[in-house]
Structure 1
Amino acid sequence: MTKRHITNLVCGTALCGALLGAAPASAAHHVHWVHPGESIQKAVDAAQPGDTVLVLPGTYRESVKVTTPGLTLRGMGPGTVLQPAKKAKATKKSAAAQKSCAEMGNGICVVGTKSKPVEDVTIARLTVTGFSRTGVMAVGTADLNVHGVAAVKNGQWGIAEERAVHSTYRNNVARNNGDAGLFLANSVTAEKGATDTAGTVVEHNLLEGNRIGVTVRRLRNLAVADNSITGNCAGVFVVGDENKPKAGNIAVTGNQVVKNNKYCPKTARLAFLQGSGIVLTGAENTLVSRNLVTGNSGKSPLSGGVVIFKSFVGVTSDKNNVTDNSLSGNAPADLVNQEAAKHGNAFKGNTCKKSKPAGLC
């Protein structure tokens, strides 16, 4: 006799509920399956907090907007592919939900408000490619989790966020995007001081062939750790500006930053890029430690292995610590400090051959 048969014999309804720990109906979480030819947005619209939208392998031509807290949007791996829509086929409700995301050129948008961030959303195990702006864009989120996502050949950013706290980006691939593979900012458009991310983590990602592997702009209190960053114009950029508080209190640790020698032309606020490993500009109290930084070579003002650079708007980089890194084959030097000694940037325990100025190795 099976355990199920025994339970049925000895339990009344109330007793079985107590013995088996039956959850109330309101706590039940549902899986919404999406097959090729069906609408992901329609399933997302139907989902309740805590539900999972599971998208089977196939190519889905649409943009998807998520505003439901606790939602998981999960593919089945690289074979679940989102591309821009050829023409609208969604219902009236879905079309309205998609409009802002699609018209902005984004693939997946996770969107909260300034007063009420959308919380605990997970985006996982799918490919987002060919969008004119961003593969995955998060605005106004808390505790966002993005993992196992491939963001490939999008026009601006692979994966990006603004006005977000305590995000986790883990085991993603961002390749051949027009700007940063991963872009994190306090605000994309507004000029204001750095904000606290409450411990955002960027770890174990592959960032390859982008303009910049990871850009952290006007943020504080986060970690960029154990990523593989190669073939970009620049590996890691920590960017501050004239607003206060400064960017800083960031840990850049344990990354492999190798041969980021692609050429990218200058922009209105930045010189041309080539051969930049890890760059701090206008940042303070940032730790750069235990990274492997090799073969980053170029003639840009920002070229070199680890570069501390005064920002183009004249803001200094102060009290940063560059410690215990392994550097080789970077040009013009493994370590470059363009700030005066009075700004307190420290270089200790690094393995390297050449620095500018001399004596930092």
Structure 2
Amino acid sequence: MGLHRLAAGVAAWRRWLGVAITQLSLITGCGGNETSPTPPPGSGGPCPPGELALEDGSCLVAGVPPDACAEGFVADGLGGCTAVLPADLCGPGLMALPGETTCRPIADCGSGQWGNLPVDGQTQYVDGAYQGSSDGTAERPWSTIQNAIDAAPPGGMVAVAAGQYVEGVRIEEKPVALWGRCPELVQLSYLEDSSALRIDGTAVSGSSVHQLAVAGLGYGVSIRGTEDVVLERLWIHHSERSALALVGTEGPITATLRSSLLATNGRSAVIADGPQTTLIIEQSVVREGVATGALQDGVGVTSQRGAHVSVTGSVIEHNQWVGIQGVGGHLDVVDSVIRFTHPLPSGEAGIGILVYYDEGTSPALTVVGSELAGNTRAGIAVEGGTLVMELTTVRDTAPEGINQGFGSGVELAEDYGDGVLSSGAIRQSHIRGSEVMGVYVANSEVAIELTEIRDTTAGGLGYRAGRGLQLQNDRPELLTSSVHALALRHNQEVGIMVAGPVQVEITNTLIEDTPAREEILGDGLVVVWQPGGSAAATVQRCRIATSARAAIHTHGGTIALQDSSMECSPLYLNSQDAESAAGVLNDNGGNLCGCGTELGECQVTSTEIEPPQPLGP
């Protein structure tokens, strides 16, 4: 179900993004050339600003529709979705997935020596407590797992009884299906700096491992040069390097991790490495990453050097530094929760999802139907890559404790090492409660539609600002973006800010209730010059209301305004010249200013007010 949602969402987004990019390249005025009659000011055409007209004549409200919440999620009543989960973190060996209100064991232990294992006539049995002579039968089982694997026929099953097995297990010669009675009772541990369980080579493709607990001083489970591996109902914990590593250059690696718990592991709990590596994570929990060694990270999931990782119906929580990261990798996150990522002891990061350019490889991130909550520094951050985001809620992102405390719900930024720009498409999402920035686009481009950004507050240590959406460029070339049918509510200081050589089309958008910060600012839309150049915005069929200072303010930027209403604000249209650029505000007709029933002709003023300053981490 999750992969179907992803495929459908990505296909639709590619079509929509292609149209959006085409529109951006043809901007000549806000909304382009239209032959239909001019709608009432601020009406958004057939639907009010902040909503989108559908073919059946109905209006779609910005945010995540309540009936579009993923399985295991419910509408939060504020325009987003939240996962149904236990109130408290589950204890060791217990887990909960979206839709579950209580913590539960990973697998049923059943009864008897072998529980509910699907044994057959060729099964090789293991019981570490057995002390007699062994032939692999249930009556005379092997005492080590490795002996049973060696004795099993290709594709055969190994059944492991309750016990503590201290050995390094290798599946290297033929495919086998390794089954423990349940993770609660069967523990595989390895006390050397290697892998507790290694699955290696093309000869073992199709192997599977079920219902074990695994721990080790090195890797818990490592997979090299093999395909179609299934890991199911595992508990991999206290592995100092990684719980699960798909690494090596011997050939393609494909694996599925399903219905498993990875907890209290070091470095990155999951690592998938290389362009021939594909990992599918389904209905699993990755939590409580531990910062160990010189790297001091404690990441949940890592895709690097072109590896492709998909995470569906899973919970990634209480990790350190980053919940999910793509280091030049490809990530698909569907119907999942990434929450409560903690900063390092230094105060750095705590990001929900981070992807960034690495060694000539641009990362690609798709997020559909997911929730990012209670992370630090950024809910989602993309540096030198691409983002597709749909039906996703990002909430309560806190600023980090260093670097002046910058924070953003969603961030698209240039990779500052190699100068690679990011691009993004965001649709039908909900971003609220961020400190400093709701959505921050720096030296990058975005097409954003039907999304609600609200309740951004002025937080942080040095960045005393709170902005709903900021489009900023300090490079010399012109960058373009589009904003359609957004709703921006109660973002402290600025609703939308455009700075530097950026050209943006803003249509059918609502900006309301923009308060001041300590009696400073409080502007709905701000378009400003900065040393790299001037910003330009075309604004059509928008409503900007109840701003604490100015509904629209340009400081050395250019605004073309049509069929919009500016309401109940001290200043409606304010234009000032900047150091090296004139402020231009073109009234293209159909605009109204005023409050309540007293809407009338708009007048441009030139009141000297301080513009907000561009910000950046």
**TM-score normalized by structure 1?**
0.72
User: Which of residues 187, 204, 207 is equivalent to 1:121?
Assistant: 207
Q: How big is each residue's C-alpha offset from its partner over 1:210-237, in whole Å with a ceiling of 9 and x where there is no partner?
A: 1111111123444221210111012111
- Which structure 2 residues correspond to residues 1-361 of structure 1 after superposition, within 5 A? 30-37=122-129, 38-78=143-183, 79-84=185-190, 104-112=193-201, 116=202, 118-129=204-215, 131-163=216-248, 164-186=252-274, 195-197=275-277, 200-210=279-289, 211-233=298-320, 234-240=322-328, 247-248=329-330, 250-263=331-344, 273-282=348-357, 283-297=362-376, 303-309=377-383, 316-317=384-385, 319-331=386-398, 332-339=407-414, 343-353=422-432, 354-357=438-441, 358-359=468-469
Q: How far did 1:170 drift?
A: 0.7
Closer, same or farther in 2 for the Cα pair 1:343/1:44, shift >3 Å?
same
In the alignment, residue 142 of structure 1 is paired with which amino acid?
E
Q: Distance in 1 between matches of 2:151 and 2:174?
A: 13
Preserved CA contact (<8 Å) 1:255 1:290: yes
Q: How far did 1:305 drift?
A: 0.3
Q: Secondary structure of the equivalent of 1:345?
A: strand
Preserved CA contact (<8 Å) 1:259 1:296: yes
Q: Distance in 1 between matches of 2:387 and 2:159?
A: 44
Q: Secondary structure of the equivalent of 2:469?
A: coil
Matched positions, count = 279
Q: How far did 1:288 drift?
A: 1.7
Q: Distance in 2 between matches of 1:152 and 1:284?
A: 28
Preserved CA contact (<8 Å) 2:413 2:422: no
Preserved CA contact (<8 Å) 2:172 2:203: no
Q: Distance in 1 between matches of 2:429 and 2:221?
A: 36
- Structure (1 or 2) with the greater helix fraction: 1
Closer, same or farther in 2 for the Cα pair 1:150/1:342, shift >3 Å?
closer
Closer, same or farther in 2 for the Cα pair 1:124/1:273, shift >3 Å?
farther
Q: How big is each residue's C-alpha offset from its partner over 1:170-220, in whole Å with a ceiling of 9 and x where there is no partner?
A: 11111111112221112xxxxxxxx144x5311111111111111111234
Closer, same or farther in 2 for the Cα pair 1:339/1:146, shift >3 Å?
same
Q: Which residue of 1 aligns with 2:134?
A: none
Q: How big is each residue's C-alpha offset from its partner over 1:264-293, in whole Å with a ceiling of 9 and x where there is no partner?
A: 66xxxxxx7542101111234431222100
Q: How far did 1:348 drift?
A: 2.5
Q: How far did 1:104 drift?
A: 4.3
Q: How far did 1:142 drift?
A: 0.6
Q: Secondary structure of the equivalent of 1:167?
A: strand
Q: Distance in 2 between matches of 1:325 and 1:343?
A: 19
Q: How big is each residue's C-alpha offset from its partner over 1:128-153, in whole Å with a ceiling of 9 and x where there is no partner?
A: 12x11111111111101011111111
Preserved CA contact (<8 Å) 2:382 2:422: no
Q: How far did 1:126 drift?
A: 0.5
Preserved CA contact (<8 Å) 1:69 1:120: no
Q: Secondary structure of the equivalent of 1:141?
A: coil
Closer, same or farther in 2 for the Cα pair 1:273/1:212, shift >3 Å?
farther
Q: Distance in 1 between matches of 2:421 and 2:349?
A: 28
Closer, same or farther in 2 for the Cα pair 1:159/1:200, shift >3 Å?
closer
Preserved CA contact (<8 Å) 1:264 1:273: yes
Preserved CA contact (<8 Å) 1:231 1:262: no
Q: Distance in 2 between matches of 1:232 and 1:220?
A: 21
**Range with greater deviation from structure 2 (282-291 or 211-220):** 282-291
Q: Secondary structure of the equivalent of 2:212?
A: strand
Preserved CA contact (<8 Å) 1:209 1:262: no
Q: Distance in 2 between matches of 1:174 and 1:63?
A: 19
Q: Distance in 2 between matches of 1:82 and 1:145?
A: 17
Q: Distance in 2 between matches of 1:111 and 1:29?
A: 26
Q: How far did 1:258 drift?
A: 1.1
Q: How far did 1:334 drift?
A: 1.2
In the alignment, residue 118 of structure 1 is paired with which amino acid?
V
Q: Which has the higher contact order (CA 8 A, sep 6+)?
A: 2
Preserved CA contact (<8 Å) 1:52 1:74: yes
Q: Secondary structure of the equivalent of 1:44?
A: helix
Q: How big is each residue's C-alpha offset from its partner over 1:230-252, in whole Å with a ceiling of 9 and x where there is no partner?
A: 11012111111xxxxxx33x422
Where structure 2 has 5 or more consecutive residues not aligned to the other structure, the ranges are 1-119, 130-142, 290-297, 399-406, 433-437, 442-467, 471-487, 489-617
Q: Distance in 2 between matches of 1:143 and 1:239?
A: 24
Q: Secondary structure of the equivalent of 1:107?
A: strand
Q: Distance in 2 between matches of 1:145 and 1:29?
A: 22
Q: How big is each residue's C-alpha offset from its partner over 1:68-93, in whole Å with a ceiling of 9 and x where there is no partner?
A: 333011111121001225xxxxxxxx
Identity %: 20
Q: Which residue of 2 aligns with 1:15?
A: none
Where structure 1 has 5 or more consecutive residues not aligned to the other structure, the ranges are 1-27, 86-102, 187-194, 241-246, 266-271, 298-302, 310-315
Structure having the higher Rg: 2
Closer, same or farther in 2 for the Cα pair 1:41/1:305, shift >3 Å?
same
Q: Distance in 2 between matches of 1:355 and 1:251?
A: 20
Closer, same or farther in 2 for the Cα pair 1:284/1:215, shift >3 Å?
closer
Q: Distance in 1 between matches of 2:307 and 2:387?
A: 13
RMSD, matched Cα: 2.3
In the alignment, residue 254 of structure 1 is paired with which amino acid?
D
Q: Distance in 1 between matches of 2:221 and 2:171?
A: 11
